[in-house]
Chains A and B, each alone.
Chain A
Amino acid sequence: MTDLAASPRQESSLTALVRHSRYVLGENPVTGFAFALFVLIVLAAVFGPHIVPYDPLASDTSEALKPPSLQHWFGTDQLGRDVFSRVVVATRLDFFIAVASVALVFLMGGLAGVAAGFFGGWTDRIVGRIADTIMAFPLFVLAMGIVAALGNTVQNIVLATAIVNFPLYARIARAEANIRREAGFVEAARLSGNSDWRILTFQILPNVFPILVVQMSLTMGYAILNAAGLSFIGLGVRPPTPEWGIMVAEGAQFIVSGEWWNAFFPGAALMVAVFCFNLLGDGLRDMVDPRRRT
Chain B
Amino acid sequence: MKRRDFLKSVTALTAAAAVPAPAIWSPAKAQSRQETLLIVSESGPNNLDIHGVGTNVPGYEVSWNCYDRLITHEMKTLPNGTPYYDKTKFKPELAEDMNVGDMSATFKLRKDAVFQDGTPVTAKDVKWSFDRAVTVGGFPTFQMSAGSLAKPEQFVVVDDRTFRVDFLKKDRLTIPDLAVIVPCIINSELVKKNATAQDPWGLEYTKLNTVGSGAYKVTNWTAGSQVVLERNDKWKGGPLPKIKRVIWRIVPDAGNRRALLERGDADVSYDLPNKDFSELKTDGKLTIVSTPYSNGIQYIGVNVQHPPFNDVKVRYAVAYALPYQKIMDVVLYGLGKPMFGAPADTATEVAWPQPHKFNTDLDKAKKLLAESGASNINVPISFDLGFAGVNQPICELVQESLQQIGITTTINKVPGANWRTELTKKTMPLFTNVFSGWLDYPEYFFYWCYHSGKSIFNTMDYQSPQMDTFVDGARAAAATGDWSTYNKDVKGFVDLAFTDMPRIPLYQPYVNVAMQKNVSGYQYWFHRRLDYRSFVKG
Contacts and interface: CB of A to CB of B under 8 A. Distances in A.
Complex A–B touching at CB under 8 A = yes
Interface of A: 57-59, 61, 64, 78-80, 148, 152, 234, 238-240, 250, 252-257
A255 B411 CA distance: 25
Contacts of A57: 400
B399 A61 contact: no
A257 B413 contact: no
Interface centre among A57, A58, A255, A257 (most CB of B within 10 A): A257
B330 A239 contact: no
Interface in B292-324: 323
A255 B255 contact: yes
The 7 residue pairs across chains A and B that have the minimum distance between CB atoms: A256-B255, A61-B326, A240-B396, A61-B330, A64-B330, A256-B258, A256-B259
Contact of A234 (B273, B279, B323, B413): B413
12 contacts: A59-B396, A61-B323, A234-B388, A234-B415, A239-B413, A240-B399, A250-B392, A253-B254, A253-B273, A256-B258, A257-B276, A257-B279
A180 B323 CA distance: 65
A58 B400 contact: yes
B469 interface: no
B496 to A, nearest CB: 33
A240 B393 CA distance: 9
A65 to B, nearest CB: 8
B415 A148 contact: yes
Nearest to B389: A253
Contact of B330 (A58, A78, A254): A78
B397 A79 contact: yes
B346 to A, nearest CB: 26
Nearest to A64: B330
Nearest to A57: B400
Interface residues of B, number: 31
Contacts of B255: 252-257
Given A59-B326, A252-B255, A255-B255, A239 B415 contact: no
Secondary structure of the A side of the interface? loop
Nearest to B329: A61
Nearest to A239: B411
Interface of B: 253-256, 258-259, 262, 273, 275-276, 279, 323, 326, 329-331, 385, 388-389, 392-393, 395-397, 399-400, 410-413, 415
A79 B330 contact: yes
Contacts of A80: 330
Interface centre among B329, B395, B397, B400 (most CB of A within 10 A): B400
Nearest to B326: A61
A268 B228 CA distance: 41
A35 to B, nearest CB: 30
Given A59-B326, A234-B385, A234-B415, A239 B396 contact: yes
Contacts of A250: 392
Given A78-B330, A253-B389, A256-B262, 11 more contacts: A59-B400, A61-B326, A64-B330, A79-B330, A148-B415, A234-B385, A240-B396, A252-B253, A254-B255, A254-B275, A257-B279
B104 to A, nearest CB: 50
A238 B276 contact: no
B82 to A, nearest CB: 25
A257 B272 CA distance: 12
Contacts of A61: 323, 326, 329-330, 397
A238 B411 CA distance: 6
Contacts of B331: 78
A111 B399 CA distance: 43
B236 to A, nearest CB: 43
B413 A238 contact: yes
B280 to A, nearest CB: 9
B366 to A, nearest CB: 19
Contacts of B393: 78-79
A130 B263 CA distance: 50
Nearest to A152: B413
A209 to B, nearest CB: 38
Contacts of A256: 255-256, 258-259, 262, 276
Question: Among the interface residues A57, A79, A256, which one has the most CB atoms of the partner chain B within 10 A?
Answer: A256
Contacts of B262: 256
Given A59-B397, A238-B411, A257 B275 contact: yes
Contacts of A252: 253, 255
B484 to A, nearest CB: 45
Nearest to A63: B330
Contacts of A239: 392, 395-396, 411, 413
Contacts of A257: 255, 258, 275-276, 279
Nearest to A80: B330
User: Which residue among A152, A234, A239 has the maximum number of chain B CB atoms within 10 Å of its CB?
Assistant: A239
Nearest to A234: B385
Nearest to B412: A238
A42 to B, nearest CB: 28
B84 to A, nearest CB: 29
Nearest to A256: B255
B470 to A, nearest CB: 38
Contacts of B396: 59, 79, 239-240
Contacts of A253: 254-255, 273, 389
Nearest to B331: A78
Contact of B410 (A59, A234, A238, A255): A238
B3 to A, nearest CB: 21
B457 to A, nearest CB: 24
A152 B382 CA distance: 13
Contacts of B415: 148, 234
B517 to A, nearest CB: 20
- Which of B253, B276, B326, B411 gathers the greatest number of chain A CB atoms within 10 Å? B326
Contacts of A238: 410-413
A114 to B, nearest CB: 39
B416 to A, nearest CB: 9
A266 to B, nearest CB: 16
A254 B279 CA distance: 12
A254 B397 CA distance: 19
A75 to B, nearest CB: 14
Contacts of B410: 238
A40 B171 CA distance: 71
A79 B255 CA distance: 19
B381 to A, nearest CB: 10
Nearest to B323: A61
